[in-house]
Chains A and B, each alone.
Chain A
């Protein structure tokens, strides 16, 4: 088991968002989380990555036998969690390459690996840049500063490729992407799929799942996973919308 979430409850500013999430992810699996707006998809991603404004009220998250909820964001990253942000942050004055070198070497250090020197780092970087068709100029610029929406998302996947996580969480990575950018980003993710690495793909739209084909699809509604199924579930949602699931759940709770 890579990740096991049991009865996870979380709130922000007093508002309950997650109402008992249960989910297990094995190594190499790709799970998609879909759901209407406001169902708690991004909150789940944020809680897993350790965003501090969310308050966890109950439940547990075990990542490779460690209590994830007890760990700082940086320790989670070092343990192998990577969150591709829905809205990547612009950091003026910090060059992409410098930032990544610091991050990669921190993560390597925590895994008992030697830090890359500049030459090795450059080599690895050039190799990974190809995955998302990154321009060299982009690595020299400040982190995400002045990047287009597509460039920002490509930069997220590029960072993921550099950090080699065990679990990649994609938080609505497809939002705001045109079809070309979506293809580039998806190709990058697919190139990173392997028997050990798992993904949690959070999306509002089925379209992304044509490119990143999941093993499982879960539907989140009102802070709970209300339906799980194979990849075909995504197609059904695309066709029928979310209303039939809402009706089902609301009828059950009525």
Chain B
């Protein structure tokens, strides 16, 4: 095969032989052998999606398919320490840091001992005896239909579990810092999370992605399954701040039980190609879901947010606000689906997507998609894509503010709207700093 390259270990690359990396032995105690075999067969059947596939039509995976990624294996030693994690602290000094190094929980570099009572973080193997956890694993993200979920289900050898006990109110924010370190070869990282928040529990989680080294390309394939119990409250923030050699495919499925409240914020400023699937199922009455997203892009970045809020039961509320600033030759995609099932009377579902295009070469594709089968509902959606407000720009300049600063001020105001929805103050401030750093990059 012409794509063959030799590797340090002599192992095949990811696309040459994904089955070689089937994570069968790693977690034998949780009995995932059949699941993984089934998942890889689905991946081999579906393959990497292409532009003919409606859900993937704006993404070009040619370069992904050509790159000789080497899946990270359980045998590779950890290289990073807690000091490396500390550099990426976003949620304030009281936040507890947990490090995922190239897809694996690095317990040494994590401050697991400091976790407050009521929350546990470990690998799936650590939870082998916990039926409440094991029974949820891989039950929600549909590997039969989603090729990258299938790949992840087959190859994620050490799934990470976050479990919040029933009634536990977790005082500290937990930041899970996912670091990519591709210092000697192109790597493929399949990282898997299961987050189980028990009944009446409350917790703030931050999952942030950063790059330590990207001398070689990184393919990050993440799947998150979140299960919220009755009356549970979860504030979740996802930060994608990788460097430019990272392709990040992320599938996130959330199941909400009765009376649960979920706030989720997604900030994407890094990565060459980022695809986020956020799929929220409001599975019982009186659920509350807030989805906020912000993407700020330049260069040739491609960021694709596909969201789905599935109202299956009555009296639920969802509110979605996604905003984007798209500069240079970058491309943004927003596809926001809202399903209101026949049963879901008295649904309130709102969606808004607003974009600013800063260059003639930048593109934004936005598509709201509402499918409503109930008759007593309040739903609205709106999508706008435009240039910077010239009238506002002139107003600021007429007060003595130079054009570049005036533009930065307006862009910041536009984007800050999303970050301002984040409740935790130190986190909000860190996100503002990340935003400002990115905006300075845009002006440069």
Contact = CB atoms under 8 A, between A and B. Distances in A.
A85 interface: yes
B400 A106 contact: yes
15 contacts: A51-B394, A72-B403, A76-B398, A77-B397, A77-B398, A77-B399, A77-B400, A78-B400, A89-B389, A89-B391, A91-B396, A94-B410, A100-B399, A142-B413, A143-B395
A192 to B, nearest CB: 16
Interface in A37-65: 49-52
A93 B398 contact: no
B400 A50 contact: no
A99 B413 CA distance: 11
Contacts of A32: none
Contacts of B417: 92-93
B432 to A, nearest CB: 12
A91 B392 contact: yes
Interface range on chain B (Cβ under 8 Å from partner): 20 to 34
Contact of A103 (B392, B400, B412): B400
B401 A74 contact: yes
A208 interface: no
Contacts of B399: 77, 99-100, 103, 107, 159, 163
Interface of A: 49-52, 72-74, 76-78, 82-83, 85, 88-94, 99-100, 102-104, 106-107, 110, 142-143, 159, 163
Which 10 pairs, one residue from A and one from B, show the smallest C-beta to C-beta distance? Answer: A93-B413, A77-B400, A103-B399, A73-B397, A89-B395, A107-B400, A106-B400, A94-B413, A74-B397, A78-B400
A39 to B, nearest CB: 23
Given A77-B397, A83-B398, A163-B399, A89 B409 contact: no
Given A92-B417, A93-B412, A102 B401 contact: yes
B423 interface: no
A165 to B, nearest CB: 10
Contacts of A74: 397-398, 400-403, 406
B324 to A, nearest CB: 15
Nearest to A84: B398
A102 B412 CA distance: 14
Contacts of A106: 400-402, 405
A91 B413 contact: yes
Which among B389, B405, B409 has the highest number of chain A CB atoms within 10 Å? B409
Contacts of B308: none
B398 A94 contact: no
A100 B400 CA distance: 10
A73 B398 contact: yes
Given A74-B400, A74-B403, A94 B409 contact: yes
A48 to B, nearest CB: 10
Contacts of A50: 397-398
A141 to B, nearest CB: 13
Contacts of B401: 74, 99, 102-103, 106
A143 B394 CA distance: 14
Contacts of B434: none
B125 interface: no
B377 interface: no
Contact of B410 (A52, A83, A91, A159): A91
